[in-house]
């Protein structure tokens, strides 16, 4: 029953946020268009790159397009549903988080519900175009397990980025201001994640496996999806992000317990 009530409340949050954005339709349209163009430029950059190469460490143009579409979709959905954590420092400095703490509702629900920004979905169209092109150019045999792999990579990637946004918000309990360090792990991952992780070398591959588990939603399931390995269990690696989310939630709760109001 509590879960059902939380879902209804979140839908109300999202509805109110969407209505407020749509009050300024021209601004909304310009935001969507600008974000679409920026994301589309990245797609054009990949096209120009492969105009001079046929492969990058064994990955074809279609392979890279699939990789890019997964990361782009994951990050877009994460911004849509988890943007409240990205602007959390403003909530702390403005005293908004203090008001949230006295309400009889989940703090996480209030934070993600207060910043449902549908205007950030511009890159989603680019990701869909890229996905269609990737499917066209790749040699993947699509069946139940490969469709599951693709869906799990996208959903797992979304949860991974939301977890990173949560960690970024947790820093605000100790420094008030958010830290640009986390941008390396979020925006940096979105930029570099459009190519398979292993092209950057074994050191980066290890870091993205044992520290921040990008490889669970990108590299390892991608190997199975592209037919580079027949280890079917790699399709279920994105489920490991659930463990990462539990760790992020534990760190978040640790920060909340040590939070001291900074006023408005």
- For 118-152, what is each residue's pLDDT tens digit? 777 778 888 888 888 888 887 788 889 999 999 99
Residue 76 three-state SS: helix
- 40 CB-near residues (< 8 Å, 6+ apart): 126, 129
Is the model's pLDDT at 244 over the cut of 90? yes
Kindly tell me the sign of the dihedral angle through the C-alpha atoms of 33, 36, 38, 41: negative
Burial 87-115 (b: 16+ CB within 10 A, else e): bbbebbeeebbeebeeeeeeebbbbbbbb
Residue 79 three-state SS: helix
Is the model's pLDDT at 263 over the cut of 60? no
Confidence of residue 21 (pLDDT cuts 50, 70, 90): confident
Q: Which residue has the higher pLDDT, 61 or 4?
A: 61
Confidence of residue 177 (pLDDT cuts 50, 70, 90): low
CA–CA distance, 250 with 81 (Å, rounded to integer): 20
Q: What is the pTM of this model?
A: 0.89
Confidence of residue 205 (pLDDT cuts 50, 70, 90): confident
CA–CA distance, 155 with 153 (Å, rounded to integer): 6
Confidence of residue 221 (pLDDT cuts 50, 70, 90): very high
Q: Which residue has the tokens 């360090």?
A: 181
- Give 75: exposed, middle or buried? Use CB within 10 Å, 0-12, 13-18, 19+: buried
Q: Which residue has the tokens 């120009």?
A: 48
Predicted pLDDT of residue 176: 62
CA–CA distance, 126 with 71 (Å, rounded to integer): 12
CA–CA distance, 234 with 172 (Å, rounded to integer): 36
Angle at 201 (CA atoms; ends 204, 147), nearest 5 degrees:
75
Token pair for 228: 């580079």
Predicted pLDDT of residue 152: 94
């Amino acid at each position: 029953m509590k879960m059902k009530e939380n879902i209804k409340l979140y839908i109300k949050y999202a509805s109110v946020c969407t209505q407020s954005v749509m009050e300024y339709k021209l601004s909304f349209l310009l935001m969507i268009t600008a974000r679409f163009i920026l994301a589309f430029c990245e797609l054009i950059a990949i096209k120009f790159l492969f105009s001079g190469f046929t492969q990058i460490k064994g990955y074809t143009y279609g392979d890279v397009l699939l990789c890019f579409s997964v990361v782009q979709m994951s990050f877009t959905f994460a911004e849509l549903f988890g943007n409240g954590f990205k602007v959390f420092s403003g909530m702390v400095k403005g005293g908004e988080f203090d008001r949230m703490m006295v309400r009889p509702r989940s703090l996480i629900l209030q934070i993600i519900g207060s910043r449902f920004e549908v205007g950030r979905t511009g890159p989603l169209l680019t990701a869909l175009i890229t996905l269609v092109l990737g499917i066209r150019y790749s040699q993947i045999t699509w069946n139940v397990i490969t469709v599951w792999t693709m869906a799990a990579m996208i959903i797992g990637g979304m949860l991974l980025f939301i977890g990173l946004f949560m960690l970024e918000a947790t820093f605000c309990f100790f420094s008030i201001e958010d830290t640009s360090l986390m941008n390396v792990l979020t925006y940096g991952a979105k930029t570099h994640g459009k190519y398979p992780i292993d092209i950057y070398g074994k050191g980066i591959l290890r870091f993205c496996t044992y520290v921040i588990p990008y490889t669970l939603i990108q590299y390892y399931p991608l190997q199975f999806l592209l037919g580079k390995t027949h280890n079917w269990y790699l399709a279920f690696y994105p489920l490991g992000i659930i463990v990462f989310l539990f760790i992020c939630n534990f760190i978040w709760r640790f920060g909340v317990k040590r939070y001291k109001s900074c006023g408005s």
